[in-house]
Structure 1
Amino acid sequence: MNKWDFESSPELALDDYDYPKELLKDEDIASRSASVYPTDREVTLESTHLQSKRIALLVTGSIAAMKAPLIARTLRRQGAEVVAFVSPEALRYTTVDALEWSTTNPVITKLTANAEHLSDDYPFAAYVVAPATYNTINKMALGIADGIITSSLGSAIGRMERGKTQILIAPTMHGSLHNSILTESLRKLDRLGIKIIPPKVANGKNNLPEEKAIAFAVCRAVSQSSLKDLPILVTGGPTPVPIDHIRRLTNRFTGRLGACIAEELYLRGAKVKLIHGQGSFSPPEYLPHKIVTTYDEYLAEVMTELQNNYRYGIFSAAVADYQPAQVFPGKIPSGELSKIDLIPTTKVISGVRAKFPSLGMITFKYQENISHEELIDIAKSRLQEGYQMVVANRGEEHQATGAQVAYLVTKDEAPQKVVGKPEIAKAIANYLEVTCDQHKT
């Protein structure tokens, strides 16, 4: 049950849990982790978007504080060094031991002579208030600094205003507390430059978003990529064509690569939008996307969305090449369909190239039963149509390796071989970063 409480609950009697300031040194943390913490406290690194970044996780007095250890570990999976600051009220719902285990760092529970809230010697790249209660949000807006969390945030706001850190908050409370007072406080914090992570609204409550959504918001906030704030459209998945109101013709492609590309760009701070064809795979909720169910819907959505002045379009969708000449009304009775007359569909990328000539385009080419040399020749010929890159792959290589093997083909460089969807996504994002940097110079 999600029951969000105020932070005005009675103070708890806390054991002393103060650490010398020296323990916050990066080299001491690494040494301490290696010698004291067993390997079960380590995490599998999923990305390096927060590598070498110190993140302050500020935990306030909501029942959602029980998820703080999970948030810490998810941040660490992106490469972050996490230090938890926890209010007395939050310790009703989580523990110092759980937070120390999940961060592998000392937990800050109160202010001492070490002035932990200032973090002068070892500054944080970002402060993340998750969960952020009604009480904390309104205190932030009024500049109140009466405890470990609000005092740390007072200093953090000063650093943020000097361009030295980022602040993110995840509002978490019962829906009835989302009143005009809270709205005004959120607007004020937004004007200051504090980033608000939208809650997951359900059953009348503003719930804490999933841990990955919070971690990804932090990645975006601290990103220094040249793709930051750049509008990029990505497509992925199949584009089924209907036979009647029940049956469809489709293909076996899932759209996982398109989602992987969109996610990598999203982590680097791009204003990415994914148009995803409906199939066996659905993109995660935190990734901005639109599901389309048919080829016609896909074509219309792409053409409409591109009117919003995108800089690049990455077209990985497995677009239908043919569609029935006639869609039968209702359901064709079983056994009465002897043949389907097919006609070619409109080539979407050709239509995009003609209508949006200034759009940077990356397209995909999948082939089977041809040689590698033939594949590269086909990709190079496609470049003559005005595309910046063609990502080419053959079914035979996927079957042989069990992983997707792609060749990134451009006009100026030799084809680049990349193995695996995450690596393909990174290679495409890297290419776009280099291209953007070249345009700036």
Structure 2
Amino acid sequence: MENNQKFDSGDFISEEKAAASPVHPTLWIQEAKGTVLSGKTIVIGVTGSIAAVETVKLARELIRYGATVYAVMTDAARQIIHEDALHYATGNPVMTKLTGRVEHVEFFGSKGAADLFLIAPATANTISKIAAGIDDTPVTTFATTAIGEGKKVMIVPAMHESMYRHPKVLENLKTLESWGIDIIGPRVEEGIAKIAGNDEIVLRVLRELGDHSLSGKTVFVTSGSTAESIDPIRLLTNRASGKTGDALAKEAYIRGAEVYLFHRGKSSWGHLPHFHDIHTESVQEMIEAVTEKIALADIPLSGKNILISAAAISDYTVEAADSKIKSGERELTIKLKPTKKLIEEACYTDPNIFIVGFKAETDVSYQELINSAASKIDAGIADVVVANDVKEKGMGTNENDVYVVTKDYLINHDLKTVVPISGNKEKIAAELFDLICVEADSDAPQVFIDLEIRTTEPDDETERTDHEETNHDETDHEEPVLNMLEDTIDDHILNEEIDNSDSSSTLLAPSDAPISSNSDASGSKKTLRRKPAQMRGRIFKRN
């Protein structure tokens, strides 16, 4: 290690920064992992569980995201971990008793400085006292004050399983939840209701105190590789690790979204509220799972739901053999056939969804890479595309260099509109969502045009008369409808559906009805839904 650097729990700090800083050395790591908690004050309440030894790492991880952290301890906790350890971990003096400063009011009174009271670990004794309104320790007094003032409280239980299963303890936890207190964990393993992992605790805190920029939205993330069965043993797959998709799902969760992660693996966050971990193997399984969840998702009050197609989805599948293909053959030919495109299927399921595509290339120029990414936007199957050359970085690496292409590039044809992002995949995820949140909320509102196409003339005079009367009744609306069409629809969009028939066509007013493509038994009538190109840019023809 070079002499001009200090190493502290995974963070490199320059000697110059250390010398210039008048603060506690622990705070040299502040914001090392981000600024989500910058300006936030968190008080950790530590009680008498052996899991108290984990709070040193917990405090430091919260500081790495920018938080200012204090600790308050019970006497029982001090028998397990010394207050000096928490003084070091937080960079602030530890409160072990209440004094004339009335610390509980200083932090959680009506003008209190703290944003969150995080009790970790919380014993059965402390949980039950808080539920009963008993405050005979510094931690329970802090809790009573915070709850009474309506400040945010999170509790992380830790105890033996037999204690956790006590009916009154379970009842008390439900009581606390009914008061709006978040209960994190525990993990029941080896006969112990263990404290939740620090990663989970930090993730929940980040979501609670973050900017909530995706609150009310559903974010669907595909991640990693797909696998097509060749036989019961062998697979056709690729090198994608899923690190980028996992980082994107985590970032969406932190920002307050309802998150669905589709991948071949299993996430350690799958049990979290508002996080849905969905295992898929093949391309078809992934498409079916994604489109099903998109169709069922709530429509946000503002903006759009978001699909991030970060998975390296196979372009080809194979008809799998029912039994193992015998080894020893000198040559073996496998016939591949193209798979469906997930983002196209997502468009058909919800044409209003905001889609972020990914484009991986090798051995291409920068201009070719950007043009390849832009072609997805031009085709109307993505709103933003993330491009990278994976030959040097990307698949399986912790860091990457990516280039974000938006509709601005199609409009201006200027490479300056392309946004480069470099760094670890968590940093890339955060900066990408900064851009997505702006793009998704600023995108034009959804508008549809119904096209009624008749492939034959009416068979009888009655039907002809009814049709003419309908047109007559709509005369007052004809001009604004046609004006809107002139303003929002390119001629070729209409022509691609009409030119191949000898039919007459009738334009109907915009509708909010679902997408439809229907014909009667004789095939004489078809209603199509199309989004105006200038409003959305997602116009494409399904083969």
* TM interval, short-chain normalised: 0.7 to 0.9
Give the corresponding residue for 2:287: 299
Q: Give the counterpart of 2:146 among 134, 141, 156.
A: 156
Q: Give the counterpart of 2:364 among 367, 370, 383.
A: 370
Give the corresponding residue for 2:121: 131
Offset, 1:267: 2.0
Given that 2:105 and 2:112 are in contact with CA atoms closer than 8 Å, whether structure 1 keeps it comes out as: no
Highest relative contact order (Cα 8 Å, sep 6+), 1 or 2? Answer: 1
Q: Aligned residues, how many?
A: 403
Q: Give the counterpart of 1:391 among 367, 386, 390.
A: 386
Once the two structures are superposed, what CA deviation does each residue of 1:352-409 show, in whole Å capped at 9, x if it has no partner? 111221221111111223322222222222113142211122235639x995221211
Give the corresponding residue for 2:422: 419
**Structure 2 unaligned blocks of 5 or more:** 1-16, 299-304, 410-416, 446-543
Alignment of structure 1 residues 43-54 onto 2, 5 Å: 45-54=32-41
After TM superposition, the structure 1 stretch with the greater mean CA deviation from structure 2, 368-377 or 97-106, is: 368-377
Give the corresponding residue for 2:153: 167
Q: Secondary structure at the match of 1:273?
A: strand
Q: Give the counterpart of 2:237 among 250, 262, 268.
A: 250
> What is the identity, as a one-letter code, of the residue corresponding to 1:290?
I
Q: Give the counterpart of 2:437 among 433, 436, 439.
A: 433
Given that 1:68 and 1:94 are in contact with CA atoms closer than 8 Å, whether structure 2 keeps it comes out as: no
Give the corresponding residue for 1:320: 314
Q: CA, structure 1 residues 293+172, in 2 after alignment: closer, same or farther (shift >3 Å)?
A: same
Given that 1:33 and 1:104 are in contact with CA atoms closer than 8 Å, whether structure 2 keeps it comes out as: no
- Rounded to whole Å, the distance in 2 between the matches of 1:369 and 1:359 is 32
**Structure 1 unaligned blocks of 5 or more:** 1-29
Given that 1:277 and 1:298 are in contact with CA atoms closer than 8 Å, whether structure 2 keeps it comes out as: no
Give the corresponding residue for 2:202: 215
Offset, 1:144: 1.5
Offset, 1:94: 1.0
Offset, 1:33: 11
Q: CA, structure 1 residues 231+117, in 2 after alignment: closer, same or farther (shift >3 Å)?
A: same
Q: Give the counterpart of 2:400 among 404, 413, 431.
A: 404
Give the corresponding residue for 2:62: 75
> What is the identity, as a one-letter code, of the residue corresponding to 1:374?
E
Q: CA, structure 1 residues 367+35, in 2 after alignment: closer, same or farther (shift >3 Å)?
A: closer
Higher gyration radius (CA): 2
Q: Give the counterpart of 2:335 among 341, 360, 380.
A: 341
- Rounded to whole Å, the distance in 1 between the matches of 2:43 and 2:349 is 47
Q: CA, structure 1 residues 268+335, in 2 after alignment: closer, same or farther (shift >3 Å)?
A: same
Given that 1:78 and 1:215 are in contact with CA atoms closer than 8 Å, whether structure 2 keeps it comes out as: no
- Rounded to whole Å, the distance in 2 between the matches of 1:82 and 1:402 is 29
Q: Aligned Cα RMSD in Å?
A: 2.8
Q: CA, structure 1 residues 224+40, in 2 after alignment: closer, same or farther (shift >3 Å)?
A: closer
- Rounded to whole Å, the distance in 1 between the matches of 2:211 and 2:444 is 15
Give the corresponding residue for 2:373: 379
- Rounded to whole Å, the distance in 2 between the matches of 1:388 and 1:302 is 18
Q: Secondary structure at the match of 1:398?
A: coil
- Rounded to whole Å, the distance in 2 between the matches of 1:440 and 1:329 is 49
Q: CA, structure 1 residues 205+39, in 2 after alignment: closer, same or farther (shift >3 Å)?
A: closer
> What is the identity, as a one-letter code, of the residue corresponding to 1:50?
L
Q: Give the counterpart of 1:331 among 324, 327, 344.
A: 324
- Rounded to whole Å, the distance in 1 between the matches of 2:334 and 2:255 is 45
Offset, 1:31: 12
Q: CA, structure 1 residues 361+94, in 2 after alignment: closer, same or farther (shift >3 Å)?
A: same
Give the corresponding residue for 1:266: 253
Percent identity at matched positions? 35
Q: Give the counterpart of 1:181 among 158, 165, 168.
A: 168
Given that 1:227 and 1:436 are in contact with CA atoms closer than 8 Å, whether structure 2 keeps it comes out as: no
Q: Secondary structure at the match of 2:261?
A: strand
- Rounded to whole Å, the distance in 1 between the matches of 2:220 and 2:64 is 27
Offset, 1:212: 1.7
- Rounded to whole Å, the distance in 1 between the matches of 2:22 and 2:290 is 54
- Rounded to whole Å, the distance in 2 between the matches of 1:115 and 1:198 is 31
- Rounded to whole Å, the distance in 1 between the matches of 2:204 and 2:398 is 32
- Rounded to whole Å, the distance in 2 between the matches of 1:411 and 1:250 is 32
Q: TM-score, with normalisation over the residues of structure 1?
A: 0.84
- Rounded to whole Å, the distance in 2 between the matches of 1:440 and 1:32 is 51
Given that 1:246 and 1:331 are in contact with CA atoms closer than 8 Å, whether structure 2 keeps it comes out as: yes
